[in-house]
Structure 1
Amino acid sequence: MVTVKMLKPYYIKADDNYVRVILAYQYFAVFINNKVYQFVPIESKEIRINRRTKKVENLGARFAFQKGKDIIYMAMSELISLPDFLVQLHSIADPYYLNKEIKSEPNYESEAIIDELEQLNMKRLIDKALDNRDYEAFQSLVKLL
C-alpha cells in the first residue's frame, strides 16, 4: 500500500503551456508498506502539468524514494493512480491553471457607440411619429430622450 505523506514543491515554474512542480529532498515523502520513504532526485525531479487540460504530461518520469540504503523507484503513472497524490498536486498547481472563462473588462468605447446608436434610433422614431401625426407616440418618445 502506497500513500503520500507529504508533497511540497521546492519551487514552481510556470510558462505559457506548463506548470512545472520542482521537487527536492525532504519535500516529498511516501508511505510504502507503513515505512516512510523520502524523495531523492536521482532520476526525475519535476512534475509537468498542462495548464489548459490540467493533466500530468511526463507520465514516463521515474522518481526515486529512499529509506536508509533501500531505494524504490516509482513511475509517474503509478503516482497519479494515488488519489491523495493527485489531490495534493492539483491544489499546488491550481493557482497556475489557465481558466477557460476570460474575464473581460468593460469596453467603454463600444458602450458609447451603442448609446449613440440608441439615441439616433429614438430620433428616427420621433420623426416617424411626427410624419404619421401620432401625438401620443411623439410625447412618449420625447420623454425617453
Structure 2
Amino acid sequence: MVTVKMLKPYYIKADDDYVQVILAYQYFAVFINKKVYQFVPIESKEIRINRKTKRVENVGARFAFQKGKDIIYMTLSELVSLPDFLVQLNSIADPYYIDEIKNEESKNENAIINELEKLNLKRLIDKSLDERDFEAFQSLVKLL
C-alpha cells in the first residue's frame, strides 16, 4: 500500500505551455508498507504538467524513494494513480493553469475596448471638422 505523506514543490517554473513542479530532498515523502520513504533526486526530479489540458506529460519519469539503504523506484504513472497524490499535485499546480474561458473573455473585452476607442476617435475627427481645426483633424486621422 502506497500513500503520499508529503508533497511540496522545491520550486515551480511555468512557461507558456507547461508547469514544472521541481522536487527536492525533504519536500516529498511516501508511505510504502507503513514505512516512510523520502524522495531522492537520483533520476527524475520534476513533474511536467500541460497548462491547458491539466495533464501530467512526463508519466514515464522514474522517482526514487529511500529509507536507509533501501531504495524504491516508482514511475510517475504509478504515482498519478494514487488519489492523494493527484489531489496534492492539482492544488499545487492549480494557480498556474490556463483557463480558456478567461482567455476568451479577455479577448472579447479587448475587442470591445478597441472598437470603442475607434468610435471615439471618429467622433473627435467629426468634431475637428465641425470646428474647422485642420491641425487636430490631421493628427487624429494619423491615429486612425
* Other structure's SS at 1:26 match: helix
Name the structure 2 match of 1:124: none
Report deviation, 1:109: 4.7
The one-letter amino acid paired with 1:15 is D
Give the TM-score normalised by structure 1: 0.74
TM-score (norm 2): 0.75
User: In structure 2, what is the equivalent of residue 77 of structure 1?
Assistant: 77
Residue aligned with 1:57, SS: coil
Equivalence for 2:94: 94
- Within 2, Cα distance between the matches of 1:108 and 1:5? 49
- Partner residue in 2 for 1:143: none
Answering whether residue 40 of structure 2 is matched by residue 40 of structure 1, we say yes
The alpha carbon displacement at 1:108 in A equals 3.8
Q: How far apart, in 2, do the equivalents of 1:14 and 1:40 lie?
A: 23
Partner of 2:100, secondary structure, is coil
The 1:62/1:111 distance shift into structure 2, 3 A limit, reads: same
Provide the residue aligned with 1:17 in structure 2: 17
Match of 2:48, SS state, is strand
- Pairing 1:1-145 to 2, within 5 Å after superposition: 1-101=1-101, 102=103, 103-104=105-106, 105=109, 107-111=112-116, 113=119
Quote the offset at 1:110 in angstroms. Answer: 2.6
One-letter code of the match for 1:42? I
Alpha-carbon separation, structure 2, partners of 1:108 and 1:15: 28
Using the alignment, how far apart are the partners of 2:6 and 2:114 within structure 1? 51
Over alpha carbons, which structure has the higher Rg?
1
RMSD, aligned α-carbons: 1.7
Unmatched 5+ residue regions in structure 2? 123-144
- 5+ unaligned residues in a row in structure 1: which ranges? 117-145
